Amino acid sequence: MADNLKAGQGAIWVQPDGPNTEPKYLGCHSIGDVTIPKGSKTLTYCPDPASNGAFKVSGSYKGEPGAVTYTIEGVMTSTRDYLETLRNSGVPIYINKAYSGRRDTFLNFDRAFIFPSSQPSQVTLSNLVARQPGDENDTLFGYEMESDDAIFAYKLVSSRVSITEVSDIHAIAVCGEDLAEGSWDLLRKSQTISSRPASILRQAPRTGQMFSNR
């Protein structure tokens, strides 16, 4: 079972010049909640013939989802932040989550969230001027972002599948890459290559084809 990911194991990246350009690491920034709408269901009604003045549900339809929304917060410094240079056409924003390793390495992630067309809808500046010593704190900014979509990305890993149990095999079929899932009738008619029992089964390298080894 995988360990739980923590908020402190995240890193934010942005491509301020758009896709296929160099990603920039946003070090002293944070993202809290991300809202991903899925579309609301709307019910339709007809008069209920069994009750005067009442209605019953006759059907429903689902509306189109709205924009993905989230807020990036950071500390203002004397230099311009990458978020202040975002294009109006939208830029990719990445949240990389990693159990270990350097945060400022773009490809270091165990799971990632990608917002491919992010645009700021509103900017909030906080703590610009202190009136008394108790109000002294960092000057902050918050970029309320909207994106057309949210992509969930996972790190690809390779593993070997071994057969640990021996039993008789009465038929062996080869499933090619071009065979559509569910085309089992065609598979049984054209690619059944053996009907004799076999006691050992091994996996062909690279293709995933299964064949007997006698």
**pLDDT (tens digit, 9 = 90+) per residue, 140-179?**
999 999 999 999 999 877 666 666 666 666 666 666 555 5
Q: What is the CATH number of the domain that holds 122?
A: 2.30.110
Only one residue has tokens 């995988």, namely 2
Distance of CA 185 to the CA centre of its chain: 35
- Both 113 and 184 in one domain: the answer is no
What does the alpha-carbon distance between residue 122 and residue 70 come to, in Å, rounded to a whole number?
11
With respect to residue 87, please indicate whether it lies within any of the assigned structural domains.
yes
Which residues on neighbouring strands pair with residue 72, listed in sequence order? 31, 143
Only one residue has tokens 């080894």, namely 213
Only one residue has tokens 């089992």, namely 184
The total number of structural domains that make up the chain: 2
Query: Taking a C-beta distance cutoff of 8 angstroms, is the pair 202, 172 a contact?
Result: no
- Both 140 and 206 in one domain: the answer is no
- Both 135 and 184 in one domain: the answer is no
Which residues on neighbouring strands pair with residue 71, listed in sequence order? 144
Nearest to 72 by CA among 128, 130, 24: 24
Tally of CA atoms within 13 A in the half-sphere of 10 that contains its CB: 18
Whether the pLDDT of residue 135 is over 80: the answer is yes
Nearest to 95 by CA among 147, 156, 141: 147
Give tens-digit pLDDT for 23-42. 999 999 999 999 999 999 99
Query: Taking a C-beta distance cutoff of 8 angstroms, is the pair 165, 200 a contact?
Result: no
Average pLDDT, integer, range 115-119: 93
